[in-house]
Amino acid sequence: MKTNGARFLESLGIPFELREYEVDPDDLSALTVAKKIGMPPEQVFKTLLVTGGPNIYRFAVIPGDAELDFKKLARAANLRKAEMAPLKDVQPLTGYIRGGVTLFGARKPYPVYIDETVILFDQISVSAGARGTQLILTPADYLRAAQALEVEVQTADLTKSVPHKIPGGPGPDSGTWETTKPEDQPK
């Protein structure tokens, strides 16, 4: 299915692959999408609409297995605070429904903040602008397409650190807990 996201990339001459999957309206998580399209969750980036106050919106793009750190985003975006935009506002502001939000072809281009881990991969996946369809492309092409929106585009550390167990360390179950970002965790 051709989507606004695909048409936008085509208009820029950016190569991509469309990957479709069966949608479960009760489970729109990036982890489920990753399984369905056969990619690791840290390579399936989710696009979130965030607000910094009345009429202040930003896109935050983070790995599917991570959680947005609102304080880090606020710092990067030079906002006093940041929080998720109310779900009821997402479609009127972007033209997309939850599970199908993308930067490309949104009703209005908002400044974009992308988690710095995006550059770690040969390919990433982002929503094509419709539930059930993902765009697979290189991080460099994704960043180039984002910059073509003529808004501020910045990469930054945007995700919460998560505790994980170090095998063989001291502690319960002979492991120790340490706080790192998901990409630092042993695979």
- Which pLDDT tens digit goes with each residue over 124-180? 999 999 999 999 999 999 999 999 999 999 999 999 986 544 454 444 444 444 444
Determine the Cα–Cα distance for residues 151 and 155; give it in Å rounded to an integer. 13
Give me the CATH topology for the region 4-161.
Answer: YbaK protein (3.90.960)
> pTM here?
0.85
Whether the predicted pLDDT of 60 surpasses 70: yes
Q: Which residue has the higher pLDDT, 39 or 161?
A: 39
Tokens of 60: 């935050």
| pLDDT tens, position by position, 103-129 | 999 999 999 999 999 999 999 999 999
Give 159: exposed, middle or buried? Use CB within 10 Å, 0-12, 13-18, 19+: buried
H helical segments located in 12-105: 30-37, 70-77, 87-94
